[in-house]
Amino acid sequence: MNTSPDRDQVWEESRKRLIPGTVTGSLIEWYDIAIYGQAAALVFGPLFFPEFSDTAGRVASFATFGVGYFARPLGAAIFGHVGDKYGRRASLVGTLVLMGVATVIIGLLPTYGAIGIMAPILLMICRLLQGLGVGAEYVGAVTMVAEFAPAKRRGYYAALPACGVFMGIGLAAAVSAAVAALPEHHLMSWGWRVPFLLSFVVVGLGLLIRLRVPESPVFDEMKDARARTKVPALTMIKAMPQRLLLVMVANSVLAFNIYVVQTFSLGYVADKGVSKSTTLLALLVGCAAGAIAIPIVATISDRSGRRPVYLGVAAFCAVVPLPFFWLLDTRNTALIVLAFILAFGGCLAMFGSQAAYYAELFPAAYRFSGFALGREIPGAVLSGPAPVIAVGLVSLGGDSPELLAGAMMLVAVASFFAVLALPETQGIDLDPITPADDESPDDQPEPPAAAQGRETLA
């Protein structure tokens, strides 16, 4: 992005509204996801699938969790199109409202005991609506910040919305921990609804903040220059198919591992006799560690480059899974907390290196669409089924987590090699461009390191 005095002034004027607006949106997104995942692990089985065994009920609950991820690529395409064609801000408002409404409705649903089979059907519909909104929420927040922020600190500022991710998970863990402390009959009758209904308040506050966020200057310039494309996603797929595929593989470690940690592991520990409140406390502490680690990792990426930092975190992800489960198996509270600190504070700090990197890998005309599809297609393949896959692998291993840990390690290794094949992007110009129709950016040579800040990634 150009560093003209006018652009610097726009950044300084917008920062105080932009950062809270984007962080709040990501907080709400992941609060919604986390309370659903935690409810699926702990209460949805007996509430919505009471005729199943405990294991089958949990699998069915996780399956409804997974349904939302099949809607996320569609949400990425729809809201990515809106963001690239009509404005980043319009997309951000739309995703926030859709997520919030769906989450509140879940808190009002009657259970199987009241209306029978319609209860899980309605639950699944709400989860699909959540998935549509989530499909572009985080990406839109990161894209907005990346296009505003000065190039030298783009990594740091673009990663701040990801702090909202862990704040949302942490808030959900705190609320769920408080609800889990209720007597069992209160928890199962009305207490489980409280985290979902509280989303109404959080979304209302978030919407007030987000409506005051200005439009991205890059989008405004692209609009003025008439550089927008008719169907951004199709243009991106035609121009950069290899890059899109590599981004999808690079994101696979987050698409799979994070959902094993934040959903399956809760039930895994509960089955070992550890209290729900202890597990949620460990998740809360882990989220705090992640929120601290994200800006640190992002700052390092501003100084050392996106790719080296991403590779380092991916390598760490490959060695964490086995120790994570070993620590959980001890049933020791302190060691369980340490396990979640490792998983969230270390491995999942990949958010800190990912944010600016993915935004820089795609040109402005289809940046939103490329970023969103690159994240959400692997989400549909891996994130939604992750808890069910985890249950299957543990059962296949005779209730031992080694096979599951091996799968998590394999995904991390694949992510490492995908990033190895991607170019370095630190310092590139994010201003609007229109790639030539007869050129494929994947076939063009990578700009030399000395040209960082002067080359435009095409």
Backbone angles phi, psi at 227, to 5 degrees: -100, 5
Query: Which pLDDT score is estimated for 227?
Result: 63
pLDDT at residue 277 is higher than 80: no
Query: Which pLDDT score is estimated for 7?
Result: 59
User: Could you tell me if 114 and 43 are in contact, meaning their C-beta atoms sit under 8 angstroms apart?
Assistant: no
**Comparing 75 with 64, which gets the higher pLDDT?**
75
**Comparing 201 with 434, which gets the higher pLDDT?**
201
pLDDT at residue 312 is higher than 90: yes
Question: Which pLDDT tens digit goes with each residue over 211-247?
Answer: 877 788 888 887 776 667 788 889 899 999 999 999 9
Please tell me the least confidently modeled range out of 63-77, 95-109, 360-374, 417-431.
63-77
Backbone angles phi, psi at 240, to 5 degrees: -135, 55
Question: Which pLDDT tens digit goes with each residue over 176-189?
Answer: 878 878 888 888 88
pLDDT at residue 454 is higher than 50: no
Among residues 165, 144, 373, which one has the least CA distance to residue 251? 373
Question: Which pLDDT tens digit goes with each residue over 380-431?
Answer: 888 878 888 998 999 898 889 999 999 999 999 999 999 999 999 998 888 7
Residue type, 433: I
* Mean pLDDT to the nearest integer, 7-26: 74
| Domains assigned to the chain | 5-451 (1.20.1250.20)
User: Could you tell me if 338 and 209 are in contact, meaning their C-beta atoms sit under 8 angstroms apart?
Assistant: no
Tell me the pLDDT band of 435, cut-offs 50, 70 and 90: very low
Query: Which pLDDT score is estimated for 8?
Result: 63
Q: pLDDT above 70 covers what percent of the chain?
A: 90
Mean pLDDT of the chain: 83
Which letter, b or e, does each residue of 169-190 get, where b requires 16 or more Cβ atoms within 10 Å of its Cβ? bbbbbbbbbebbeeeeeebeee
pLDDT at residue 259 is higher than 60: yes
* Mean pLDDT to the nearest integer, 61-90: 85
Question: Which pLDDT tens digit goes with each residue over 114-157?
Answer: 898 898 889 989 989 988 888 888 888 888 888 888 888 999 99
Backbone angles phi, psi at 429, to 5 degrees: -85, 130
User: What would the two tokens of residue 70 be?
Assistant: 């099949």
* Mean pLDDT to the nearest integer, 97-119: 90
User: Could you tell me if 222 and 364 are in contact, meaning their C-beta atoms sit under 8 angstroms apart?
Assistant: yes
Which range of 290-304, 420-434, 442-456 scores highest in mean pLDDT? It is 290-304
